[in-house]
Amino acid sequence: MAGFATAATLLAAAFVACRQREGSGRRITIGVSYQNLQNEFIINIQDAMRAKARDLGVELIEADGQGDAEAQISQTENFIARGVDAIILNPYDREGSAHAVDLAVQAHKPIVVVNAIVSNLQKADAYVGSEDAAAGRIAATRIMELLKGRGAIAVIHGPNGHSAEVQRSDGIRQVLARFPGATIVVEQTANWDRAQALTLMENWLSSGRRIDAVIAQNDEMALGAYKAIEAAGRQKEIIVIGIDAIPDALRAISEGKLVGTVFQDASGQGALAVELAKRLAEGQKVKHDNDIPFQLVTRENLAKFWSPK
């Protein structure tokens, strides 16, 4: 019984493998490993990739890293084993996901890294992204403008070690270092989660510390922090900024709640990644560094990014 099942499984696998090799002869297949499809921003990248793939007539084989670097490495191994023509890696962990690039290089598969960096970025064929440090700098600069260069700052971090968290922290510190009148009085992680940030902000407010501004490394956390500030009635005293420009945050800016956010062009990143992957699969050379700049979003330029529904 077990023997029969094993044989049947092997036959089925062989059948599927044959079908795929036929497939990659006709259409270019690209394996994509997303860092975490439970993140709204990454879903925006996915939408853009799918649309571009449809336009260009390439086939995407998608895998969700689910916030686990090791899973992304396994997924890359699977893509290589399946014989994809190119790989797109959206890394979760700057160090942990780096091995995937090594694997692709060893297997002579072109690999494009998108949205977040890895420690061995130079080994990849191309990088499409926005420099997260710039996002941190833009957010911190906006706060310094509004506070006129002095004040007590609270920073809410993403998950420790996450590529974006590391870089955004760097960017924030770079800017604040230039203003001796500004100090970071508290900082802690809320793991990109709105509820965690809400609780954290509540407790910070309770502690009686003076806080003039909150820089949250993403919008979900900014919205959570704002909710706590509003509940305590201190929204006139404390300003909040986030990063990502998700719809909820844009609405909050229109209502004067958040003082700004930083727009990351998910569509631009996703689309360009697919385009570069296709060209690499066809044997063309592409530029290694493809930076898509972040943009500050405030009430003034909100209309460019959002309209009330």
Partner 1 sequence: MAREPAKIEGRRSAEQAAEGWRGLAAFLSRYGIYCAFLLLAGLLSVFSPPFSTLSNVENILQQTSVNGIIAVGMTLVIISGGIDLSAGSVLALSAVMAASFAHPGAHLLVVPVSLGVLVGVTSGTLNGLLIAKRRLAPFIVTLGMMTAARGLALVYTNGRPVINLSDSYNRIGGGSAGDIPFAALVFLGVVLVGAFILHYTRFGRHVFAVGGNELAAKVSGINTERVLVGVYALAGALSGLAGIVLSSRVMSGSPATGQGYELDAIAAVVIGGTSLSGGVGSIGGTIAGVFIIGVMNNGLDLLNVSSYWQQIAKGLIIILAVLLDRKSKN
Using CB under 8 A as the binding rule, whether residue 183 contacts partner 1 is answered as no
What residues contact 143, with CB distance under 8 A and at least 6 apart? Answer: 151, 153, 213, 215, 239, 241, 259
Task: Write each residue from 245 to 274 as x if it is in contact with partner 1 (CB under 8 A), else as -, in one continuous string.
Answer: --xx--x-----------------------
Using CB under 8 A as the binding rule, whether residue 308 contacts partner 1 is answered as no
Kindly tell me which residue out of 199, 235, 254, 267 binds partner 1, with binding defined by CB under 8 A.
199
Site size for partner 1, by CB under 8 A? Answer: 30
DSSP 8-state assignment for residue 106: H
Minimum CB separation of residue 188 from partner 1 in Å reads 6
Residue 264 Cβ vs partner 1, minimum distance, rounded to whole Å: 16
CB nearer partner 1, residue 157 or residue 278: 157
Q: Which residues contact 29 (CB under 8 A, 6 or more apart)?
A: 20, 23, 58, 59, 60, 61, 82, 83, 84, 85
Residues 28-47 within binding reach of partner 1 (CB under 8 A):
37-40, 43
Residue of the chain from 9, 122, 183, 203 that contacts partner 1 (CB under 8 A): 203
Asked if 232 interacts with partner 1 (CB under 8 A), we say: yes
| C-alpha span between 187 and 202 (Å, rounded) | 13
CB of 99: closest distance to partner 1 in angstroms? 25
Kindly give the pairing relationship between strand 261-263 and strand 295-297. antiparallel
CA 158 – CA 169 distance, rounded (Å): 9
Task: Write out the two tokens for 291.
Answer: 């930076």
Report the residue number, 123 or 251, with the smaller CB distance to partner 1. Answer: 251
Amino acid (one-letter) located at 185: V
User: Cα–Cα distance between 175 and 171 in angstroms, integer?
Assistant: 7
Residues of this chain that bind partner 1 (CB under 8 A): 37-40, 43, 160, 186, 188-189, 193-195, 198-200, 202-204, 206-208, 220, 223-224, 227, 231-232, 247-248, 251
